[in-house]
Amino acid sequence: METHVLRLVAGMEKGFSSLVCCLDPSPEYITLLEKAGIDHTDVKCPSLTTPSALLGYMALERIVKRFRPDIVHAYGFASDVLGAMLRLRRANLRLITSRRGEDANLRHCRIRRLTNRWADRIVCVSREVATFVEATEHPAPRLLEVIPNGVPVDRGAMSPAAPPGHMIRFGTLGTVKPIKGTDILVDAFLKFAADAPVTLAVAGLIDRPWAEALRARASIDSRIEFIGRSSVPNAFLAGLDVFVLPSRSEGMSNALLEAMALGLPCIATDVGSNRTVLNPPDASSAGVICEPTSDALFECMRHLSGDAEARARNGKAAFRIAQERYTTEAMVRRFEHLYRTVARSEQSVARTEATSAL
């Protein structure tokens, strides 16, 4: 989500003025905003269930009064609720909310059914997410808008295909937690013979008890490496031969798109939009789709590790798909069109302004 906002705000035309309102930002994210020259402020509202929530809302009220945005674009459940409260107080404000995955929290779904009444659009990252929202939140059909994620695509950065006989380096990128299926990937890799020419690199935050326990379990195989959070994800991805996304649930994975933009062959579980992204019906396959089980994932990894031709073919297809369908530029232009459409619907001022809340 944070990466998405950075790319969106940084890529918008000069006719848009933006302010990113962070509810609970990390110091690293604030640094990224500052490096990109993006105006931002910290609302200091980490949760709606604490007394700080009221203070956070009051801070947002002051920001809105000062900045006078035409559109508030909310990201995340807490932001959706705060955005709806702002809309109730300010009828001329337009509200766009986002759905970046399948939120299985029934309480969230029930509350969103209420707050959707004050939304002007609900942006979903994929048709699969939109279908989930339709089934769980029952919004008016006119509210739903599908805008896929976008990533930078640079032909010069395309990773070369690994030659036959090369030590194959598998890798995944993302927070190490159950929903991301990192344990499925580790268990799948442990099925390789001890002398198989393969390694596994896991990049992502690992400071939680579950992640630490998984790392301890993986320590029986010295070919598995946990490298922690990567400050340069593209450099990490460029060092892989095959990218693996073992998630149990997904909306549209930025990590998967970033791997495809580097021309990496990919393996992904059959959840969310993974199948649509990797194996679109009107293009060559960019990788292999499997069920989210260690047995199924191992079979895919074993197959690609021994088939240099398939890796090269999938990598080229992955790059073409990313280049043609999932660029940052295409994503930004679609959001700009949406902002203008929503602003014009209320005869807003000529210079559209948008506030993004995280």
Burial status of residue 53 (CB atoms within 10 A of its CB: 0-12, 13-18, 19 or more): middle
The per-residue pLDDT for 115 is 94
Amino acid code (one letter) for 321:
I
d(CA 159, CA 270): 25
Residues 6+ apart with CB under 8 A from 139: 113, 116, 119, 122, 133
Least confident segment among 49-53, 67-71, 85-89, 315-319: 49-53
The per-residue pLDDT for 52 is 79
Task: Residue 353: name the closest of 82, 60, 38, 68 by CA.
Answer: 68
Q: Domain ranges in the chain?
A: 2-150+328-357, 155-325
d(CA 221, CA 79): 42
Residues 6+ apart with CB under 8 A from 320: 283, 284
| pLDDT above 90 coverage of the chain, percent | 73
Least confident segment among 20-29, 270-279, 322-331, 342-351: 342-351
Mind giving me the DSSP string for 314-329? Answer: HHHHHHHHHHHH-BHH
The per-residue pLDDT for 127 is 94
Give the pLDDT mean for 1-16. Answer: 88
Indicate whether 155 pLDDT > 80: no
The string of pLDDT tens digits covering residues 215-247 is 999 999 999 999 988 878 889 999 999 999 999
| pLDDT above 70 coverage of the chain, percent | 93
Question: How many Cβ atoms are within 10 Å of 143's Cβ, its own excluded?
Answer: 17
**Domain 2-150+328-357 and domain 155-325 have a common topology:** yes
Query: Do 2 and 205 meet the contact criterion of CB atoms below 8 Å apart?
Result: no
d(CA 205, CA 177): 9
The per-residue pLDDT for 352 is 47
- Taking CA atoms, 330 is separated from 39, 253, 284, in Å, by 23, 17, 21
Give the pLDDT mean for 178-185. Answer: 96
Kindly report the CA angle at 324 between 318 and 325, in degrees rounded to 5? 90
Indicate whether 356 pLDDT > 90: no
CATH of 2-150+328-357 among 3.40.50.1820, 3.40.50.2000, 3.20.20.70, 3.40.80.10: 3.40.50.2000
Pick the more confident residue, 158 or 42: 42
Indicate whether 3 pLDDT > 90: no
The per-residue pLDDT for 165 is 66
Catalogue the long-range contacts made by 107-114 (C-beta closer than 8 Å, 24 or more residues apart): 108/77, 109/136, 109/137, 111/77, 111/81, 112/77, 112/80, 112/137, 113/137, 113/138, 113/139, 114/84
The overall average pLDDT reported for the chain is 90
What are the tokens at 86? 């702002």
The per-residue pLDDT for 303 is 95
Pick the more confident residue, 89 or 161: 89
The per-residue pLDDT for 50 is 80
Least confident segment among 78-92, 155-169, 174-188: 155-169
The per-residue pLDDT for 154 is 81
| Length reported for the chain | 358
- Taking CA atoms, 34 is separated from 14, 31, 46, 76, 214, in Å, by 18, 5, 21, 22, 35
Helices (H), the chain: 2-11, 27-35, 52-67, 77-89, 106-115, 127-137, 182-189, 209-218, 233-238, 254-261, 274-278, 294-305, 308-325, 328-344
354 beta partners: 18, 71
CATH architecture of 155-325: 3-Layer(aba) Sandwich (3.40)
The string of pLDDT tens digits covering residues 12-38 is 988 899 999 998 888 888 999 999 999
Q: How many DSSP H helices and E strands does the chain contain?
A: 14, 13
Indicate whether 158 pLDDT > 70: no
Query: Do 204 and 182 meet the contact criterion of CB atoms below 8 Å apart?
Result: yes
The string of pLDDT tens digits covering residues 260-304 is 999 999 999 999 999 999 999 888 889 999 999 999 999 999 999
Task: Residue 146: name the closest of 166, 172, 123 by CA.
Answer: 123
d(CA 192, CA 218): 13
Task: Residue 144: name the closest of 97, 195, 186 by CA.
Answer: 97
